[in-house]
Copies of this chain bind each other. A is one copy, B any other.
Amino acid sequence: MTRKSSTGVSATRSTIRDVAARAGVSASTVSRVLGGDYPVSAATRTSVMRAVRELDYVADARAKAVAGVGTPTLAFVLDDITGPSFALMAHGVEREATRLGHLSLVCSTDGDTAHELEFVEMMRAQRAAAVILVGGTADTPEYRTRTARIADSLASVGSRLVLCGRPPLNPGTPVTVIEYDNEGGAYALCAHVLAQGHQRLLFLGGRPDHTTAQGRERGYTAAHRARGLEPDPALRLHGDFTRDSGHRLMRQALSQGLEFTAVMAATDMVAAGALTALHEAGLSVPGDVSLAGYDDIPFARDLHPALTTVHVPYEELGRLAVRTALGRTPDDPDEHLLLGTHVVVRNSVATLSS
């Protein structure tokens, strides 16, 4: 098998005109045979295809786009691709996008709002079909106006904003929002833990103003109240959604001498860090203290003990985001979907014999 590079074909990109010249036809004809659906004589088609092959020609996608026949692009903006749940969503987005023949870009903002804006502007310039903003954030007035502005500016170039697990905007804003049930999942999980006889549940939360964290915390509170219990405020610790935060918070709780028989972490990552801190303190889980997470990331099974947690259909969420964003006409009503979650019982929560 000889290498193409040795056939003497110029290393400079060839254009449709080069192909036309080599095949002895006009550029329009080349365009037509490549386009597919257009009557072209068999002989012409053959020689054009030969020229295409010889030159290893591919039409410039950007030029096609300008001419009005591009491959639509779709952007996925998240905090950090390194977070397992985000990676899962990215996977879903990516798969669905390619299935639909779209290109998909991802961008990590590392939580930087300026960076996020910058990227959105880039996508607007690319005339992306949709941009998907992912993950909870602080739901401030500033957030709402900023994001509404993004939605409008995207709409003005025929693009569409999708909010995924992010606080919704005021009605009337051209945006699609897809959420998953944080409060309900946390409620169910907490109810499960309480049903095992636990009374003092340590909550290892995220940033207090973070909507995802808030939803989960609300579920924790509501489940207590449903049993006529009022959670002890001292039992809520706040940090972020990382493994390190869980580790730090857990050590802190232990050193403070807080009393609790179970801990509910805002995410599985937090739970992982907490678990390690517990182990380091010589405590057994769930023998001495029970532990639960949230997200059901793949690794949750391999923690020891296997983590009881709430399953969130992240990959499905990603797929859904692109489907609803793409499969809509400009006048469709703005959608707001809420995906369900469910608790997965494994081995990290013990029944209190008392």
- Check B155 against A11 for contact (C-beta < 8 Å): yes
- Check B126 against A61 for contact (C-beta < 8 Å): yes
- Check B302 against A125 for contact (C-beta < 8 Å): no
- Check A156 against B63 for contact (C-beta < 8 Å): no
> Does residue A81 face the partner (Cβ distance < 8 Å to B)?
yes
One of A82-90, A176-184, A206-214, A320-328 contacting the partner: A82-90
- Check B58 against A125 for contact (C-beta < 8 Å): yes
Which residues of B have CB within 8 Å of A91? 80-82, 108
Which residues of B have CB within 8 Å of A153? 4, 56
- A103, closest chain B residue (CB): B105
- A73, closest chain B residue (CB): B105
* CB < 8 Å neighbour of A105 from B104, B124, B304: B104
The dominant DSSP class at the A interface is helix
Which residues of B have CB within 8 Å of A145? 1
Q: How far is the CA of A148 from the CA of B70 in the complex (A)?
A: 28
Q: How far is the CA of A154 from the CA of B303 in the complex (A)?
A: 44
- A5, closest chain B residue (CB): B152
* CB < 8 Å neighbour of A149 from B3, B66, B105, B124: B3
- Check A88 against B94 for contact (C-beta < 8 Å): no
- A274, closest chain B residue (CB): B302
* CB < 8 Å neighbour of A299 from B71, B94, B299: B299
* CB < 8 Å neighbour of A66 from B66, B107, B127: B66
Q: How far is the CA of A82 from the CA of B298 in the complex (A)?
A: 9
- Check A4 against B60 for contact (C-beta < 8 Å): no
Q: How far is the CA of A273 from the CA of B235 in the complex (A)?
A: 33
> Does residue A301 face the partner (Cβ distance < 8 Å to B)?
yes
> Does residue A12 face the partner (Cβ distance < 8 Å to B)?
yes
- Check B58 against A152 for contact (C-beta < 8 Å): no
- Check A127 against B13 for contact (C-beta < 8 Å): yes
Q: How far is the CA of A168 from the CA of B58 in the complex (A)?
A: 26
Q: Which of A13-70 contact B (CB under 8 A)?
A: 13-14, 56, 58-63, 65-66, 70
> Does residue A158 face the partner (Cβ distance < 8 Å to B)?
yes
Which residues of B have CB within 8 Å of A132? none
- Check A125 against B56 for contact (C-beta < 8 Å): no
- Check B275 against A148 for contact (C-beta < 8 Å): no
> Does residue A95 face the partner (Cβ distance < 8 Å to B)?
yes
> Does residue A100 face the partner (Cβ distance < 8 Å to B)?
no
> Does residue A157 face the partner (Cβ distance < 8 Å to B)?
yes
**Within the complex, what minimum Cβ distance (angstroms) separates A188 from chain B?**
25
- Check B94 against A108 for contact (C-beta < 8 Å): yes
- Check A106 against B94 for contact (C-beta < 8 Å): yes
Which residues of B have CB within 8 Å of A103? 105, 122, 126
**Within the complex, what minimum Cβ distance (angstroms) separates A9 from chain B?**
7
Which residues of B have CB within 8 Å of A65? 62
Residue among A80, A106, A148, A302 facing the most chain B CB atoms (10 A cut-off): A302
What 0/1 pattern do residues 191 to 230 of A give for CB contact below 8 A with B? 0000000000000000000000000000000000000000
Return the 3 tightest CB-CB contacts between A and B, nearest first.
A272-B302, A61-B125, A62-B65
A-B contact pairs, 25 of them (CB 8 A): A3-B152, A4-B152, A11-B156, A11-B158, A13-B156, A13-B158, A56-B153, A58-B124, A59-B125, A60-B66, A61-B122, A62-B62, A62-B65, A71-B122, A82-B84, A84-B84, A94-B106, A103-B126, A105-B105, A105-B106, A272-B302, A275-B302, A276-B301, A276-B306, A299-B299
